Amino acid sequence: MFGIGMPELLLVLGLALIVIGPQKMPAVAKALGRGLNEFRRATQEIKNTIDVSSYMEQSDETHSASNTDSSTQSSVKTDVS
């Protein structure tokens, strides 16, 4: 998990409890959770956008390659005739 072991995690949580206080801790944890959830959602959206754009580039390359093959074949047929 980021190279943090159980003792370090407990120390961080203990310090957060002292600094923030037990009454504000649930609100802070809730806000942190929402922030992480939004970050994950944005990251997933970026991944999907990259996947779609790379798929579109691949299909464009395939489509242009097939058009090049067709034009080459038609010019060969014209020369033979």
56, part of any domain: yes
Q: How many domains does the chain have?
A: 1
Residue 30's pLDDT is 95
Q: In which element (H, E) is residue 5 found? A: none
Report, in angstroms and rounded to the nearest whole number, the Rg of the chain calculated over CA atoms: 28
CA distance 16 to 29: 10
Residue 56's pLDDT is 79
53, part of any domain: yes
How much is the mean pLDDT over the chain? 81
The pair of structure tokens assigned to 56 is 């579109």
pLDDT-derived band at 71 (thresholds 50, 70, 90) equals: low
Q: How far is CA 41 from CA 1, 26, 34, 37, 62, in A?
A: 20, 22, 10, 6, 32
pLDDT 10s digits, 45-69: 999 988 888 877 777 777 776 665 5
37, part of any domain: yes
Residue the block writes with tokens 């060969």: 76
CA distance 73 to 18: 77
Q: Which carries the bigger pLDDT value, residue 11 or residue 56?
A: 11
Domain extent, residue 36, equals: 27-60
Does this model's pTM top 0.75? My answer is: no
